[in-house]
Amino acid sequence: MVRARAEGNFSQVLRQQRLRCGLTQLQLAALSTISVRAIRDMESGRVASPRRATVALLAGALRLTGQARTAFSRAALIESSHLDKMVTESMRIDAPVWTTDGLVGRDHELDAITGLLAAEPRQRLLTITGISGVGKTRLALEVSQRVHAESDSPLLWVPVAETRGDWIPDPAPPTLIEAMAELITGQADTSGELAAIIGTAPMIVFVDGIDDVPVRAPALLRLLTDCPQVTVVATARVPLGIRGECVLPLAPLAVPEPGQEQDLDSLGQIPAVSLLLRQLAPVQPGFRLNPANASMVAGLCRILDGLPAALGLAASRCLMEPLPHLYEQLIDDPRNLHALICHHPEPMLYASVLRSIETLPKPHRTLLNRLLQIDDCWTVDDAVGVTGLSQPELTRSLHVLFTRGLLRRVERHGSYFISMLNIVRQACAGIHDVPLPRADQARLLAIT
C-alpha cells in the first residue's frame, strides 16, 4: 500500500521558500507564470489544494531540487485533495489483463527479466528495446503478470502513448498513471510529488511504448533516487540513456534454419512457425504443416524475420488470398514485403522501422548502409573487410544497431553470424533507392 508520509503546511512552506530566495510575491508570479493573486491565496491558506502543475511551476521558479523539492511538493500534496485520489488509486494497482492469447517462445527473455527484478541488489531500471512489432509490449505484459503472481509488490502499468497529453488545463485530478506518464514524457516535472506519494513503498512501474516521445531522464532518475523501492521496466525503440539502465534488446522470434523443414514436429515448435500457424488457424482453418508446404512456411517465417507483427499481417492477408500466393509475391519482388508491412495499424510498422533508422546518429546510419552490401549473414571480420572500419569502431556501432533491433544474431550449423532484418534492408534500400535482388536470388531472404 502506498501512503504519503510527511506533514506540511504549504502556505508557510511557500512563504519561507519565497523569502529565502529574496522574492516578492510579484517577482515570484513573474518567474513562475502564476498570477500574483493565486500566490497570495496560497500563502494565506485560502487555496487548500494547489494543482500539481502549479506546484511544479512554483518549485521551478524557486529553483528547488532534490530533497527540498520533494519536501515542497509533499507539503502541497498533503493538503491537496488530489492526494486522496492518487493514494486510493495506487492501492488498487494490479497487473493489466489485456492478453488472452498465450505467449509464444520468449522463455529465456522472461527468465532473464524476472531474474533481474528479483535479484539482490535489484536492477531498478530495465528497458526492453527493439523495432516496432517485435513483441516488447507483449513481453512486458507477461513479465507484469508473472511478477504479479509471484510477489505482492504493487504494479503500475503506464501506457505512455495513450496517457500523454497536456494536463495543465484539465480540471480533473490526474490518476497516478497519468502523473507517472507526465513525469516521464510530459511538460511538468512531477518527480517531487510522486516521490512524496510513493515514499519508500515498493512498486514496479511498467512504462510501455516510449517511442517517439523524448524522455525526461533527469526526472525519472530523481524518482528512482528518491523512491528506493521503485523499479521501472520500460519498453522503447531505443535505450533511454539513463545512468544504470539495463538494456535488453529484443530480437524477433527464432526462425527455422535452412534444412530444419525436414522434421515437421520440430519445425512446428520453432517460435516463428508456431505463431504463424496459430494466427493462420482462424483465417485458413484447414491449413496444416505437411511435407509439401513445410519449406514455404519456413521460408515465409525467414522473409518476415520472425517478426510477430509481420507474421500477424501475413496471416490476416490469408483471408483474401491463399498462403502460397503471398509467398510467391514476396519471393518475386522484395517490394511486396514493403507493401505487406505498410498495412500495419497505427503506428505503422514500416514507418516505425524507418524512424528507427532515420534517428540513428550518422556514423551508425552510414555503417548500416554499408552493411547492405553484404548478403545473407556475416561475421564481424566480414564486416571489417567490407566497411574498412577498425574492429573497436565497428563493434561500438554494431552494439547500437543491435540495441535498436536492426540486426539479429543467426545460428547456422552451430556457428553464430549476424544479419540485418529483411524489413530493415527494405527500409534502408528504400531510403537510398538501392535495388534489392529478388528474394530467390538473395540467399538472405528465403533460403528454400
Ligand X SMILES: Nc1ncnc2c1ncn2[C@@H]1O[C@H](COP(=O)(O)OP(=O)(O)O)[C@@H](O)[C@H]1O
Which CB, 136 or 425, lies closer to Mg ion?
136
Minimum distance of ligand X from residue 237's CB (angstroms) = 8
Minimum distance of ligand X from residue 142's CB (angstroms) = 8
Return the closest-CA partner of residue 424 out of 130, 212, 136, 151.
130
Which CB, 154 or 312, lies closer to ligand X?
312
* 445 touches, from ligand X, Mg ion, none (C-beta below 5 to 8 Å by class): none
What cell was used for 168? 495543465
Which CB, 130 or 299, lies closer to ligand X?
130
- Cα distances from 295 to residues 117, 337, 405, 415, 427, in angstroms, run 40, 18, 26, 22, 26
Which CB, 79 or 208, lies closer to ligand X?
208
Q: Which residues bind ligand X (CB under 6 A)?
A: 103-106, 130, 132-138, 235, 275, 308-309, 312
Q: From the CB of residue 279, how many other CB atoms can be counted at a distance below 10 Å?
A: 20
Minimum distance of ligand X from residue 99's CB (angstroms) = 7
211 binds Mg ion per the rule CB under 5 A: no
293 binds Mg ion per the rule CB under 5 A: no
Task: Round to whole Å and give the CA distance between 63 and 69.
Answer: 8
At residue 283, the 3 state secondary structure works out as: coil
Minimum distance of ligand X from residue 208's CB (angstroms) = 7
Return the closest-CA partner of residue 249 out of 138, 396, 135.
135
Residue-wise burial string across 215-249, b where 16 or more C-beta atoms lie within 10 A, e elsewhere: bbeebbbbbbebbeebbbbbbbbbbbebeebebbb
Query: Could you give the string, one character per residue 170-209, with x where binding to Mg ion holds by CB under 5 A and - elsewhere?
Result: ---------------------------------------x
Minimum distance of ligand X from residue 175's CB (angstroms) = 23
Q: Determine which residue in the list 25, 49, 114, 137 makes contact with Mg ion, applying CB under 5 A.
A: 137
Minimum distance of Mg ion from residue 112's CB (angstroms) = 19
Q: SS3 helix, strand, coil % of the chain, rounded to 5?
A: 50, 10, 40
Task: Round to whole Å and give the CA distance between 196 and 13.
Answer: 15
Which CB, 105 or 174, lies closer to ligand X?
105
Residue in the shown chain whose Cβ atom is closest to ligand X: 135
366 binds Mg ion per the rule CB under 5 A: no
Using the Cα atoms of residue 355, residue 360, residue 366 and residue 371 in order, give the sign of their dihedral: negative
Which CB, 136 or 364, lies closer to Mg ion?
136
At residue 393, the 3 state secondary structure works out as: helix
Which CB, 39 or 247, lies closer to ligand X?
247
* 308 touches, from ligand X, Mg ion, none (C-beta below 5 to 8 Å by class): ligand X
At residue 346, the 3 state secondary structure works out as: coil
> Which residues sit at the interface with Mg ion, rule CB under 5 A?
136-137, 209
